[in-house]
Chains A and B, each alone.
Chain A
Amino acid sequence: MHSVAVLLAISMSLLLAALPAVAAPAAQALLQASDRARGGGLPGIVWEIHLESREAQRVLEPQRLAVRAVDDASVAETLEPARFRGSKILQVGRNMWLTKPGLAKPIAISPRQRMSGQAANGDIAATHYAADYEAEWAGEQELAGEACHLLELTARHKRCTYDRIRYWISQARSVGVQAQFYSLSGKLLKTARFDYEHEIVFEGRRIPFVSRMVIQDALTEAETVMRYLGVQVRPVQAAEFDLGQLQ
């Protein structure tokens, strides 16, 4: 009887120990599937982003960007406003450069610059949360009447724009519907909501694709609306990310 109880206790302990190991891959798989709807895990993505922002009552001038991205490399070219036309931000890993027509040479900028501007560089490029963040399943929650998985994401490396993210993934659609972005100190920086009115074909399957992202700053009254247009899933040549060929 005693040995049966010991065996039972050991089995229970092993089961309990194994539980997080089962949950973690599931969380990571959820994340990977949701990434595709935001450009991650694809052979390459090309899109145009329209940004409209306001700070309290002040409406900022709208921006239009053409973005090409593959894995950890992206290049964002400004189309509007006209005075910035042709400016490009290149990011490869954590390295970032800025160039524009007439500039003597590309300027190396620090990773912190990716947080500047109306939307962070991490917001305008494709999303690779599955590669960039460690996911932990934190339960189920209903959001605007939709059942969601809640994941806690922790940055795997320094190139990540945010240190920690709380991410709500729709159970029915497998897409991220809301994210809260936190700093290393645990301070809430921004909240983002996502709409998926586009559709792309990937590996023979039609999947919903992000069409709109609304970012609300947690520290100020600023709000940015990003609309994604002209989405194309296609390979992007490596030369697009070659500093010597940015012209």
Chain B
Amino acid sequence: MIAARRIVALGLGLLLLAGVSVGAWPEVPESWQGSGDGMLYAYSQRSVLAHQSVLNPDNRIARLPETATTAEVRGQLALERDDLRVFLRPIATAGYYRQDQACWDEQELYLSQWQARLRPTPTVSLAAGRELLNWGPGQFRSPSSPLYFDNGRSNPVRELSGVDLLKLAWTPDAHNSLLVAWLSGSGHAGAQEPPRWRGTWLAKGERRAESWAGSIVLAQQPRRETFLGAYGQWSASDAWLLYGEAGSGTVQDLLHSPPDPEQPWSLQPESPRRTSLLLGAAYTLTNGQSLSAEYLCYGHGYSRGEAAAYFARAEAAAALAPADRVHALGLALRAAPDLLGRHYLHLIWQNSLLAGEGYWRLMYSHSLDDGSGEAALYLERPLSGRLSVFLMGVLNRGGTQAEFGRLIDHGLMLGCKLAIP
């Protein structure tokens, strides 16, 4: 652990030295430039919860809203000079929720991301702030990221929040970069949860070559095993993009589910080291539409026996006293692996992200372990240069004792977004 810190500290020193030795600023006049804009979202969603859910009977455990109406402003403010940049992404949100007979509302104002960045030389940048350290070509999940395994790509409306950090990046040319970061907290998410990432060191090297790009990631959390990650992509032809991501590490506070349902659940402060791998291929048609297929092998997921025992224990919890049942099922939901199984297939059919007439995406995620699946459709249509309407529908199948059918049967979201000013 101490050795790892020394290596990172040495790396930081070398980066600074390299930057100072390489860098000499060209004579460019300095002037401050500011910009500010944002997007106003208004959307309403309705979820039909799984009937007779084993893990969430009568919605008493997860307490998921059945309808939600949300208004949200996502701002983007920047002030920059040639060597200095300050960037803020404030989000103000107000939501009205209903669950059975209960109604409530919530308001929140927070910084989803921010950054103060200094470039002391043309090749080195120092930054402090709250950033999304999210990477890799995977759409379904990102096993190469220790922070964002769920990379947020399955819901185009959702916005991820960054982690608090200090960052040093060295970019000697357009093809190579190296960053070292120290995480001081979990960002906005850390306000509700324990600050999981405090004290984590992270190093990432990236190479962007002629037709491929790849990266290696190393992360060291205090008193945890080192996380190792890597990803790569290869433009095999004009139409084909082949890619992969891998990660090896441990998970904090993971629910262990022995295959024997008679044995109880247990919470592992740190799981054994496991490796996850994602392989993907995307083909772009001449009309700009693309088809993608991804396979994920998730090392922290349950085997079929462990998953069956997980649901069997949840079913048996019905016999417990109400308080014990809430505790047991709450633990089962909160501490379960990000994905219950080990083998997944994810398919995407979408039109060009650059298309001016609107964007649509059809996704299907399938568990190869329990046969359950989730189909999702996202449609976005511009009404003017500023205003778009969107729709997202989700349909789960597989039943209440399977990955995708355990909580929500289907859902629909309708909304609009308006660029401001």
* Chain A positions near chain B (C-beta within 8 angstroms): 60-61, 70-73, 80-83, 85-86, 89, 92-96, 98, 101-102, 104-113, 116-118, 157-159, 234-235, 237-239, 241-245, 247
Contact = CB atoms under 8 A, between A and B. Distances in A.
Contact of A239 (B125, B206, B290): B125
Contacts, number: 183
Given A243-B208, A247-B113, A105 B419 contact: no
Contact of B237 (A85, A105, A109, A158): A158
A238 B353 contact: no
B290 A110 contact: yes
Interface in B107-124: 113, 115, 119, 122-123
A71 B174 contact: yes
Interface in B241-291: 241, 243, 282-284, 286, 288, 290
A60 B137 CA distance: 31
B218 to A, nearest CB: 15
Contacts of A110: 235, 238-241, 282-284, 290
Rank and list the top 6 A-B pairs by shortest CB-CB distance, nearest first: A104-B152, A82-B419, A81-B385, A73-B174, A241-B174, A93-B210
A241 B352 CA distance: 22
Interface centre among A82, A93, A239 (most CB of B within 10 A): A239
A105 B142 contact: yes
Interface residue tally on B, bucketed by range: 35 or more
Interface of B: 26, 28, 37, 39, 74, 76, 87, 89, 113, 115, 119, 122-123, 125, 131-132, 134-137, 139, 142, 148, 151-153, 158-160, 169, 171-175, 177, 179, 204, 206, 208-213, 233, 235, 237-241, 243, 282-284, 286, 288, 290, 352-356, 382, 385-388, 417, 419
Contact of A83 (B132, B135, B151, B388): B388
Given A61-B385, A238-B174, A108 B353 contact: no
B177 A244 contact: yes
Nearest to B131: A247
A108 B135 CA distance: 10
A83 B353 contact: no
A85 B119 CA distance: 25
A96 B356 CA distance: 19
Given A98-B353, A102-B74, A105-B148, 15 more contacts: A61-B356, A81-B386, A83-B385, A94-B211, A95-B213, A104-B132, A104-B152, A104-B160, A105-B132, A108-B213, A109-B284, A110-B239, A112-B238, A113-B353, A242-B206
B85 to A, nearest CB: 9
Contacts of A112: 238-239, 284, 286, 288
A94 B235 contact: yes
A106 B355 CA distance: 17
Interface centre among A92, A111, A245 (most CB of B within 10 A): A245
A93 B169 CA distance: 21
A239 B119 contact: yes
Contact of B159 (A60, A73, A102, A107): A102
Nearest to B162: A247
B386 A237 contact: no
Contacts of B115: 247
A246 to B, nearest CB: 11
A237 B233 contact: no
A116 B288 contact: yes
B136 A105 contact: yes
30 contacts: A72-B174, A81-B382, A82-B37, A82-B385, A82-B386, A82-B419, A86-B37, A93-B175, A93-B211, A101-B39, A104-B148, A105-B132, A105-B151, A107-B353, A110-B239, A111-B238, A112-B239, A112-B288, A113-B284, A113-B290, A113-B354, A117-B354, A117-B356, A238-B177, A242-B169, A242-B174, A243-B208, A244-B135, A244-B169, A247-B87
Contacts of A92: 174-175, 208, 213
B235 A111 contact: yes
B275 to A, nearest CB: 21
A60 B354 CA distance: 14
Contact of B204 (A83, A113, A157, A244): A244
